[in-house]
Amino acid sequence: MITLYGMYRSRATRNIWAATELGLDWHLKPVIQAYRLEAQGIDPAHPEAPFNTRTPEFLKLSPAGAIPVMEDAGLVLSESLAINLYMAKKAGGPLAPKDLREEAQMLQWALYGATAIENPALDISFAYARGEAATENGEAKIAAASAQLHRPFKALETHLAAHSHMVGGRFTVADINMAEIVRYAQAHTRLMAQFPRLSGWLDLCQSRPAFRDLMERRAAEPA
């Protein structure tokens, strides 16, 4: 059985979504971020603190002290996009790459999302989540992040003008990986409105029952 370590309010969402879609035998072991405990006035190092990213047992799995982490028959992976690509190949089927060509394309999009999109998209996500979007400083952060995202979003818009999905003309783990990265910028509707094909593809991905269930569970998890 695959064990996923993390929380719904973390990058583990992309792994939970993929594992559910793939029909794998898996379970989630909650590991709360240490900073969330500190925000509650709880010392992560206290013996009675919940299992967290600074707990010695967890640091043996992830020396970086970050979630998510996957453990499967002795294999430990600690990068969420790599975890999804591994699980897809393990499960096989339509969500997985059908050949070396598709595997390379899935790697390409995962790396592009991580390097060109995720950080500025997270800046937007945090600005909205912290209620900063209506402030002068928050607007400046969002504007700067949006400027950084214009080029990669245009690349996705161009790709999706010719392809229904990221790879292979079907829903795959590549769509899960990219959708979960783009989601961070989704709250900024003025930006998303400039890229209708990207927005339509994202809506299609997020209409899937596995995603909707995931987000319901995420919303139910304490912030």
**137-165 average pLDDT score:** 97
| Residue-wise burial string across 124-151, b where 16 or more C-beta atoms lie within 10 A, e elsewhere | bbebbeeebeeeeebeebbeebbebbee
Q: Decide which of 3.40.718.10, 1.10.357.10, 1.20.1050.10, 3.20.20.220 is the CATH code for 100-211.
A: 1.20.1050.10
Using a pLDDT cut of 70, give the percent of the chain over it: 100
With a CB cutoff of 8 Å and minimum separation 6, the contacts of 76 are 61, 62, 69, 70
pLDDT at residue 8 is higher than 90: yes
Q: Where are the domains of the chain?
A: 2-95, 100-211
Cα distance between residue 117 and residue 156, in whole Å = 11
Q: What is the pLDDT of residue 190?
A: 96
pLDDT at residue 29 is higher than 90: yes
pLDDT at residue 223 is higher than 90: no
**Pair 171, 205: CB distance under 8 Å:** yes
Report if pTM > 0.75: yes
Mean pLDDT, the chain, rounded, equals 97
**204-223 average pLDDT score:** 96
Q: What is the pLDDT of residue 46?
A: 96
What is the architecture, at CATH level 2, of domain 2-95?
3-Layer(aba) Sandwich (3.40)
Q: What is the pLDDT of residue 189?
A: 97
**140-145 average pLDDT score:** 97
| Residue-wise burial string across 12-26, b where 16 or more C-beta atoms lie within 10 A, e elsewhere | bbbbbbbbbbbebeb
Model confidence over 66-106: pLDDT tens digits? 999 999 999 999 999 999 999 999 999 999 999 999 999 99
Q: What is the pLDDT of residue 155?
A: 98
